[in-house]
Amino acid sequence: MKYYIIAGEASGDLHGSNLMKSLYKEDANANIRFWGGDLMKEAGGTLVSHYKERAFMGFFEVLMNLSKVLGFIKFCKKDIAEFKPDVIIFIDNSGFNLRVAKWAKEQGFKTNYYISPQVWASRASRVKDIKRDIDNMFVILPFEKEFYKKYNYDVTFVGHPLIDGIAGRKQVSDQKFRKEHNLGDNKIIALLPGSRKQEITKMLSVMLSLVEGFADYKFVVAGAPSQDYSFYQAIIGTKRVSFINNKTYDLLSLSYAALVASGTATLETALFKVPQVVCYKGGNISYQIAKRIITLKYISLVNLIMDKEVVKELIQNDFNAKNLKIELTKILDEKHREKLFLEYFDLEKKLGGKGASKKVAKQILKDLK
């Protein structure tokens, strides 16, 4: 069978790579062409476009780069038409994928979506388009199935792929990792400022402002694979911190606490049972627009899934050095940590167990046959 997969960002690349591995196991003759990243490239198949080329964040930046975005969409359609896949699999990345999906359905291609657009967060009216353009929707958050049910759209809950990704990772010795990266013996506070330049620029400097006030801890910046060290170095300057690129899971596995940019990383941090403070600061125009269309009580996946404040969220103007210091001090306290660990265990139960990628691959192949 011929599969065409479209993913964007580092998280889409991770989930896409695991899905590809499952597809190859289920279909020995799988021919996969994809938009993704380095992890998907390692899994096999043919890379058409790397997500780094399309890393536009926020309404304003997308608008400024609209001609580039439209050019990518046009090229994607052309490439699909020439490849003639048996099925197209869209992974998250709704701004791009839903536009391609409309065209693909009109052309008669079979369309599957893995990891739903966040229509439950804003612009629920998009469900109408999803029902029209997507043959099968595979969701990974427990509340999504009930959300879609309200719109008479039957979707399949497969569990969260992060559970497989974390369980299946190659573990490294804590001591070996510390020695390789010269981390010493102090307790580690991980800094995860996101993967896009805009969010890293806005958040990392505030996170770094705490370094001198917590001298007994080792601060370590988790570098994203999409960015070069020179970019981080310009922000870090002479701060007493370490930098580790593209080894976030290894870092989280031995971290004592973490300051985390809102996104998939908040859930990853929780699954590693690391106490965290969730941070978000966007461009003012983008934030004001988002504030008016997003209807959620929380921004972190941890709180959304649990439907209560489990981890503290510092958003926009509340994200400052003073508040961050207060919240970091709290998650270093043992009583606070014990309560948080219990919440994290409940969170993991809600996520549905292992095997998300395998379930999706099996169902896609079954439908094709």
Class of domain 2-160+352-368 as given by CATH: alpha beta
What is the predicted pLDDT for the residue at 61? 55
Phi then psi for 262, rounded to 5 degrees?
-55, 135
Q: Could you give the CA distance from residue 343 to residue 310 in angstroms, rounded to a whole number?
A: 7
Q: What is the CATH number of domain 167-350?
A: 3.40.50.2000
| Per-residue pLDDT tens over the stretch 259-291 | 999 988 999 999 999 999 999 987 665 555 555
333: helix, coil or strand? coil
| Per-residue pLDDT tens over the stretch 183-209 | 999 999 999 999 888 889 989 999 999
What is the predicted pLDDT for the residue at 9? 82
Q: Are strands 217-223 and 136-139 parallel, antiparallel or unpaired?
A: unpaired
Tell me if 2-160+352-368 shares its fold with 167-350: yes
Is there a contact between 18 and 164 (Cβ–Cβ < 8 Å)? Answer: yes
Q: Where do the structural domains in the chain lie, given as residue ranges?
A: 2-160+352-368, 167-350
Q: What pTM value is reported for the model?
A: 0.80
